[in-house]
Structure 1
Amino acid sequence: MFKLKENHTNVKTEIMAGFTTFLTMVYIVIVNPIILSDAGVPFDQVFTATIIATVIGTLWMALSANYPIAIAPGMGLNAFFAYSVVGASEDISYQIAFSAVFIAGIIFILLSLTPFRKHLIEAIPQNLKNGITAGIGLFIAFIGLRMTGIIADHPTNLVTLGDLHSPSVILAFTGLAITLILMSLNIHGALFIGMIATGMIAVITGQLSFNEGFTSLPKLPEGIIVSNPISAIGDVISHSLYAVVFSFLLVTIFDTTGTMIGVAKQAGLMKGNEMPRARKALLADSIAATAGAMFGTSPTSAYIESSSGVAAGGRTGLTTLVVAILFCLTAFFSPTVAAVSSVAAITSPALIIVGSLMMGAIAEINWKQLDEAFPAFLVILSMPLTSSIATGIALGFISYPLMKIVKGKGKEVHPFVYLFAVLFFYQLFFLGTH
């Protein structure tokens, strides 16, 4: 079913990769409820909804598309939901905002059923794809460094070196050293084993404890929040949420498309300029986004943390099947997950190492040709500095056709690139979702 031999992998490697992906992205079940609770959504509601959306999308990716790419509510989109949609107006409750997410999800599904998104992936210039991969890698590493305190905020220079005597920093460097040694020795599952070793050290040093116990039953206090498409459309029309729906749709399309390209390229699953089974893969997050809105979470996206599982050897849907199963189990272990997720130093070394691996795509960018190199550079630079994959992709899409026109090569640019350059320009300068 998963074609393990054809993809040069085995069951043990895929399971290890699944555990690795899960451990690097499970923080979302804690972070997402914290952010959305600021919009008034009950913590337990978002916790369970996050798991439901993640399991639906990731299972679809595993069983239908056979890719090692996990789906979960996207960071950035949850902040946009909480602070720019619900927080910006007293008239818009979180229930009404979920109606906008629901409608965006339905439109998303319809687009995914057409050749549109598949053609979009194929239309993206190769140098931009390499820039997206490298940019995501830099962004991942930057997240890992900041989460642990290795990099800290600075009032003038924005960031600076953190406190090297901090227990979190020492633990992160220890975990990084252990993992790098294991990888240098070509030990399979080095990222996962490194996280386990770091977790054990965290327990011994008192940085990881389980004071709230280990298990609890999942709760969904609000039940199903959005169930009727007609009433959801009514909410969007009555509150003029067209720009909100467009923003969710545009950012999710490119966040997911960019991430899928980056992870698939890293895994060696791209065939030339084409992503096999693209439509099935792209349906995963659109279905998950719609289901997530029904239960109470912001839009889903393909997860950049999937690249950690790919680095651990994951190549098929068996990796994501393991991720989905682990998220199902997580529903009963919220106190345990909360405890582990609170220690960033356990998972951050994997993010830093994966970032370095993905940065290798820089070597494939045509740096000698300015009209190809500068848009890719803009993508790489802006992703970590704006904390947004979608913003990086947007700036790349806007600058690429402009550079080509200036060079007199406007006819070489695919019509889709022109279309989305205009849409991204409008989104960035007039809608301001990030």
Structure 2
Amino acid sequence: MDKFFKMKQNKTNIRTEFVAGVTTFLTMVYIIVVNPAILSAAGVPFDQVFMATVISAVIGTLCMALFANYPIAIAPGMGLNAYFASVVATQGLSYQIVFGTVFLAGIIFILLSLTKLRETLIGAIPPALKFGITSGIGLFIAFLGLRMSGIVVPNEANIVGFGDLHEPMTLLTIAGLFITLILYVWNIRGALFLGMLATGIISFFTGHLQFEGFMSAPPSPVFFDMDIGGVFSNSLYTVVFAFLLVTMFDTTGTLIGVAEQAGFMKNGNLPRAKSALLADATATTVGSMFGTSPSTAYVESTSGVAAGGRTGFTSVVVACLFALSIFFTPIIGAIADIPAITAPVLIIVGCFMMHGLARIDWKSFDEAFPAFAIILTMPLTSSIATGISIGFITYPLLKLVSGKGKDVHWILYVFGVIFVLQMIFFPAH
């Protein structure tokens, strides 16, 4: 064990790695509740999403452990699941077709991870667009949590308005939000999970949370419930690209962030980056086959690194704990029916994703406006793809007319034209 994971070389041991694995799992276990709750609202059977979430997390995290030897966990990504649900809702598509887009994005991601084209694509997209995309998704997620819980409601005067504080679910959400915020500010490990647990306990005593059992046999997984042909017949190329782009940036950014914290970066480069990216791409592809949205490396992995995790054994522990969770579906299903338990997590994770705003050059208008346009349009149009499209159109255009056209990679011009054509001839509805 020590030799395979190079524990002595990384100045760690099995006990430390085990504690780190448990810590990481506690900070991200909310996904096995939140992900099925979001996708089941789009019509996907809850049990199918639950099993797909666990399967993709186990496979992706084990691949990260065994081939990249990093203490980084993988699971279906927040934001990507909300985008999945919005595509189903706004475009009137079956979830099987949208799973087809996820599958194709996963295959392309695998191919890109095997070539140098991935580095070219990532290097071509300027920081302003990368941070704008991440921040826009953050607002998108937070708005979803506010809407789910009734904190914001439809309002004829201004589209949305403040909800009714006399509603029990809204009050529960606000209570859960403040409990979770306090735990997080106190640097309590697993604050997101413990906040959900505290809200669940309150819900139980108020009579809103009711269990019909605690343990059960795992649901039967559903395999290849998708319609790839529908992707082409509905011209969902922007959706495929959106899944690919966000997953690629999310994973790359997380890998670099966790690697820097753990001291893995060597002269600005990440060793075994190809294996790490392949782990995520594999999880996304396999997850789509069983019924979930794209997977990504989890920034919550930094909690495990902070607890001393330095090798893939931390990830093995996380994968094993995810596998054990399949025997507790009655508890998880009951929790998912209470928006107040999951909404605070969405709101807080949305805040986490805003950190890139500080790195945008707001004094340069041709940098600032495309990022602003992305951040503005994603939550207001309920479409991550639309936000990405507008960013890719406005950035090269503003650079070109300001005499800085040569500073823009040719790939951005190509995608800018593609997105213009997409929005004219194949607009999202």
Q: TM-score, normalised to structure 2's length?
A: 0.78
Cα drift, residue 319 of structure 1: 6.8
Distance 1:103 1:359 in 2: 28
What does residue 259 of structure 1 align with?
250
Match of 1:418 among 413, 422, 428: 413
- For 1:153-192, list aligned pairs within 5 A: 153-192=154-193
Cα drift, residue 428 of structure 1: 3.7
The AA in structure 2 aligned to 1:300 is: P
The AA in structure 1 aligned to 2:327 is: F
Residues 378-426 of structure 1 deviation map (CA, whole Å, 9 limit, x = unaligned): 1221222233333323322221111100110000012222232233333
What does residue 71 of structure 1 align with?
75
Contact 1:69 1:260 in 2 (8 A): no
The AA in structure 2 aligned to 1:17 is: T
Cα drift, residue 205 of structure 1: 2.0
Cα drift, residue 353 of structure 1: 3.0
The AA in structure 2 aligned to 1:287 is: T
> How many residues were matched structurally?
409
Cα drift, residue 338 of structure 1: 0.9
Distance 2:84 2:361 in 1: 32
Contact 1:251 1:390 in 2 (8 A): yes
What does residue 129 of structure 1 align with?
130
What does residue 392 of structure 1 align with?
387
Partner-residue secondary structure (3-state), 1:26: helix
Distance 2:222 2:354 in 1: 43
**Mapped pair 1:21 → 2:28:** yes
| RMSD value, Cα | 3.8
Contact 2:33 2:333 in 1 (8 A): no
What does residue 198 of structure 2 align with?
197
The AA in structure 1 aligned to 2:374 is: V
Residues 137-195 of structure 1 deviation map (CA, whole Å, 9 limit, x = unaligned): 32332222222221222234221111112222222222222233333334444333333
What does residue 152 of structure 1 align with?
153
The AA in structure 2 aligned to 1:55 is: V
State the identity %.
45
Distance 2:279 2:364 in 1: 36
What does residue 237 of structure 2 align with?
246
Residues 247-294 of structure 1 deviation map (CA, whole Å, 9 limit, x = unaligned): 453122112123335545765749799776553343334323433444
Partner-residue secondary structure (3-state), 2:396: helix
Stretches of structure 1 lacking an aligned partner (at least 5 in a row): 88-92, 227-231
**Pair 1:381–1:287, CA change in 2 (3 A):** same
- For 1:14-163, list aligned pairs within 5 A: 14-24=21-31, 26-37=33-44, 44-45=47-48, 47-65=50-68, 66=70, 68=72, 70-72=74-76, 74-75=80-81, 76-77=83-84, 80=87, 84=91, 87=94, 94=96, 102=103, 105-163=106-164
What does residue 325 of structure 1 align with?
320
Contact 1:171 1:345 in 2 (8 A): yes
What does residue 90 of structure 1 align with?
none
Residues 97-118 of structure 1 deviation map (CA, whole Å, 9 limit, x = unaligned): 8677655543442233212223
**Mapped pair 1:431 → 2:390:** no
Contact 1:189 1:312 in 2 (8 A): no
Stretches of structure 2 lacking an aligned partner (at least 5 in a row): none
Most deviating of 77-86 and 152-161: 77-86
**Pair 1:429–1:217, CA change in 2 (3 A):** farther
Residues 188-224 of structure 1 deviation map (CA, whole Å, 9 limit, x = unaligned): 44333333222222222222221x3123323448666
Cα drift, residue 225 of structure 1: 5.6
Partner-residue secondary structure (3-state), 2:161: strand
Residues 79-132 of structure 1 deviation map (CA, whole Å, 9 limit, x = unaligned): 546885855xxxxx95x8867765554344223321222322222212222323
Residues 9-34 of structure 1 deviation map (CA, whole Å, 9 limit, x = unaligned): 97545533322212145322344345
Contact 2:238 2:385 in 1 (8 A): no
Cα drift, residue 372 of structure 1: 0.6
**Mapped pair 1:355 → 2:359:** no
Contact 2:74 2:280 in 1 (8 A): no
Distance 2:313 2:384 in 1: 26
Distance 2:155 2:254 in 1: 32
**Pair 1:348–1:381, CA change in 2 (3 A):** same
Distance 1:247 1:153 in 2: 28
